[in-house]
Amino acid sequence: MKSTGIVRKVDELGRVVLPIELRRTLDIAEKDALEIYVDGATIILRKYEPACIFCDSAKDITVYKGKNICNDCLSQLRG
């Protein structure tokens, strides 16, 4: 993991501001969803990209009955 040298405080509502430089670098726009992971005492934020529930691919995703499925897996399901 690479340190950015940027330190931010958590406000009284539990919010942390991501600096514009990081948002631009990581292509994070207003209203983008972020996934939150915990690894021991480390919190990891990652831009959410919908992925197939079967193969974890993020390419050509279709929502079917509320689930994300890629076109390849959807074709296999159809037989």
Here the CATH number for the domain that contains residue 33 is 2.10.260.10
Q: Quick one: 27 and 58 in the same domain? A: no
In sequence order, what are the residues at sequence separation of 6 or more whose Cβ sits closer than 8 angstroms to the Cβ of residue 9?
A: 16
pLDDT at 77: 87
Instruction: Give the total number of structural domains in the chain.
Output: 2
- H or E segment at 59? none
pTM comes to: 0.64
- What whole-number distance in Å separates Cα of residue 14 and Cα of residue 12? 6
Tokens of 79: 């037989």
pLDDT at 78: 87
Q: Does position 64 have pLDDT exceeding 90, yes or no?
A: no
Q: Quick one: 40 and 12 in the same domain? A: yes
- What whole-number distance in Å separates Cα of residue 38 and Cα of residue 53? 21
Tokens of 7: 């330190």
pLDDT tens readout for residues 6-60: 999 999 999 999 999 999 999 999 999 999 999 999 999 999 888 999 999 989 9
Domain of 34 in residue numbering reads as 1-48
